[in-house]
Amino acid sequence: MQLNKIYQPVKKELNGVNAVLLAFLSGSNSSTITRINKFLLKTPGKRLRPALVVLSAKLSLTKKSKSKDSDGRAGRPGLLKVAAALELVHTASLVHDDIVDHADLRHHQPTINHKWGDDVAIASGDYLYAEAFRLIAQCGNADILSCISQATKLMCEGQLQQVCQRDNLDLLKKQYLMMVKKKTAVLFAASCQTGAIMAGANRIKQEALKEYGLNFGIAFQMMDDCLDLIGSETVLGKKPGADFEAGELTLPILNLLESVPLNQREKVRKILAQSRCPESFRKIRAMFFDSQAVFKTKNTILSFVSLAKDKLKIFPNSAYKDSLFSLTDFITRQGFNRI
């Protein structure tokens, strides 16, 4: 199933989110800021986080609130603004990540730092964060502000920890998992919880959707880490091996270290220690495909997908529930087709 089919039940709302983003990012009095923002809008990405907000809100609606939902606001004003704000938080984090990673490409387009320099990219990311929280503030909901601000804080912590752990060949899986939760999964969780809050859902539903988002986000990041090792530039829209070159130990690499015989482990560590060498990346990639690490990585990702789906059992069947199920399958299928 294609992404546009998965999004079909909330197509109207996602079009509304895009309209909000366009209005906010095109409304600056500065022609320079407007030009940079419009450049960002040229590569919208998957819009996963806004989709999670809206799908979670729709899934959480009671019969009473559905009767008030004729304008697509899930029974509460501001849903589209909050969904747009979460996309801005995500975009801001990517702009800053590209600076840290010295990345030149994203979605087959030059990065902000490559096109305008690091100084402009830093300021641009800060601007996007500010715009995001301005949108959130307009909703006047302290619970939503707390939810998203906490997630944003944890994202920054995760990114900082990841940078500090570069070239640490003794990184533990539990440390890796904690970084994945913080830098990626918490924003998925916040997107789902925010949607539930906007729909007036009870704490049980909020927690279920939050846990769905958290486990989906973990699986998503693990899949992304795997694709960085096995994918091509055509598929990724950026240069593969960026994580490896930066000295980051991700799930497939950690599984490879566990899978090779003890007498070969030191050889693998020596190759990893030379991560800036293109030949080292090719060797590690070939070793990964020839080892049990492939199956271990796939099984770990599928276990988090299963946990995510399990959290949706408390909700009745609907098109929105089907879309949330299909999203997890879509993301994993894209990666597993290349293994």
Query: Following DSSP, what letter does each residue of 212-248 receive, concatenated?
Result: HHHHHHHHHHHHHHHHHHH--HHHHSS-TTHHHHTT-
For residue range 154-175, list pLDDT tens digits in order: 999 999 999 999 999 999 999 9
pLDDT given at position 62: 57
Q: Find out whether 325 and 312 touch, Cβ atoms under 8 Å.
A: yes
| Alpha-carbon gap, residue 310 to 314, rounded angstroms | 9
Residues 6+ apart with CB under 8 A from 113: 95, 98, 99, 102, 103, 120, 121
For residue range 322-339, list pLDDT tens digits in order: 999 999 999 888 777 665
pLDDT given at position 75: 41
User: How many distinct structural domains can be found in the chain?
Assistant: 1
CATH of the domain at 153: 1.10.600.10
Task: Look up the pTM and report it.
Answer: 0.93
Residues 6+ apart with CB under 8 A from 115: 39
By residue range, what is the domain housing residue 100? Answer: 3-336
Q: Low-confidence residues of the chain, pLDDT below 50?
A: 64, 67-77
pLDDT given at position 127: 93
pLDDT given at position 71: 41
pLDDT given at position 73: 42
Helix (H) or strand (E) holding 110: strand 109-110
